[in-house]
Amino acid sequence: MPIHNPAPDFALLSGFNARSWSGVNVFDRGSDNISLPSYDSSSGVYDDVLSFLNGRGSAAAQSLDTLLTTSATFGASWSIEITDADRIKVSANVQFTIIATNDDPLGFNSVLNTATGSGSSWSVTAPAEWVRGEFEYVSYLISESGGAGAFNFNVCLQGAQDVITIMRARGSVGDADDVNATDNLEALDQAATSSYVIRWLIDSDGHVCCYYPATESAITWVDVSFRNRLGFSGSEVPAVFHGSSTDLKLRADYVCPGVLYPSRPMQSHSLAVSNRSQAHQKIDGAYTSNQVGTYIRSVLRLNLDAFLDIKDEYRHFTNHFAQYISQGHQVNYYQNWGDPRRAIITSAVNVSVLAYDLLNISADNGKQGRIRASAINTGEISLAYPTAFERRVPVRLELAHL
């Protein structure tokens, strides 16, 4: 079964409108100029900053299935997938063992796991849940059972947004989230530099990060407004990150505008349903009506961190979040941060819609995964302190499901 956490970390991410930088050279890497596309009337507005940064996927050469296939030095028919129980499964045509050599985001518990099967069909299913959230520099040792073959399956030697994102090969998944395969910042950066190990992501504190090889030139910001929109001050210095000596990490000084990551779990999340119709009473007293639609909305109650709290997000909310959640603007509610898949209810599962795959998650009847929505009650939001202490500011938001 998928992960069960009664109080998961959550996040609210507004839509990301990049049309202000249509065709603009936003930053350089030495002589390489990174420019955003020239958007037409149907493009340039992204679901949120994740869609803009990495297109909810990885370059085909850096997706897990490709990395596993190209890393293998024995056997054939290597593959990695998510099972119908939401576990990671590795398969091949020979028996093998797998063990984590450092961190273990895939859920193999850092113990020796031996493939089961027969003939030319062998597989190992991770015994534990895959870890939600970003990770960096992860490798597994895969060895041939009864043979001398062995290789390192380098899941990620840079940074990764999450397990789902690194499994999704941009432009090849072909589902409803695979719509920004070429116009996301990571793909544009990779194309300009011909370096397909560059990664752009947002961490669990809401800061944009870029991982890139030390052989590549550092970022020189050309457009200051674009830099500020991602939360960079311009004073950041790239640093070598854990486990690597050949790659660098540039982390924005500030939380990305339009992004909210409270330190406490959601206080309450309830649903409301509204029926829209046009009704008229007839002469005989009966009614006739024209049904417009039935609409679901989420009512969220959360606590905003303030000056005396774990982290102060009070002025971030007023200056860098509220303006991006005006009425009608898109807001994505990540009920369990680190799992970017769309939340669906159990009854939505059928022969063509799986309970768990790279797009959807039906766990807990829709209580996990991402809810795509529009803000509908954000004309004025009071941030009054409930006590004399400047902490735990209650906030109420309503989001209409898309």
pLDDT band for position 281 (50/70/90)?
confident
Rounded to whole angstroms, the Cα distance separating 198 from 187 reads: 9
Q: Is 47 helix (H, G, I), strand (E, B) or coil?
A: coil
- Interval 188-196 mean pLDDT: 94
Secondary structure percentages of the chain, helix, strand, coil, to 5? 15, 35, 50
Residue 257 Cα to chain centre, angstroms: 16
Q: Which amino acid is at 340?
A: P
pLDDT at 304 over 60: yes
| pLDDT, tens digit, 9 for 90 and up, residues 19-52 | 999 999 999 999 999 999 999 999 999 999 999 9
pLDDT at 246: 81
Name the one residue in this structure whose structure tokens are 């839509």.
Answer: 15
Rounded to whole angstroms, the Cα distance separating 302 from 268 reads: 7
DSSP per position, 331-393: EEEESSTT--SEE--GGG--SSS-SBSSSEE-GGGTTSSEEEEEE-S-S------SSSSS--E
| pLDDT, tens digit, 9 for 90 and up, residues 321-362 | 999 999 999 999 999 999 999 999 999 999 999 999 999 999
Greater confidence, 241 or 243? 241
- What is the phi-psi region of residue 193: left when phi exceeds 0, alpha when psi lies from -120 to 50, beta otherwise? alpha
pLDDT at 269 over 70: yes
Reported pTM: 0.94
Burial letters for 268-281: b for 16+ Cβ neighbours within 10 Å, e otherwise? ebeeeeeeeeeeee
Task: Report the chain's mean pLDDT, rounded to a whole number.
Answer: 93
Q: Are 187 and 170 in contact (CB under 8 A)?
A: yes
pLDDT at 243: 65
| pLDDT, tens digit, 9 for 90 and up, residues 100-120 | 998 899 999 888 999 999 999
Rounded to whole angstroms, the Cα distance separating 260 from 302 reads: 11
- Interval 210-223 mean pLDDT: 95
Share of the chain above pLDDT 90, in %: 82
| pLDDT, tens digit, 9 for 90 and up, residues 2-23 | 677 778 899 999 999 999 999 9
The domain locations on the chain are 64-165, 268-401
| pLDDT, tens digit, 9 for 90 and up, residues 57-100 | 999 999 999 999 999 999 999 999 999 999 999 999 999 999 99
Rounded to whole angstroms, the Cα distance separating 334 from 343 reads: 9
Q: Are 334 and 10 in contact (CB under 8 A)?
A: yes
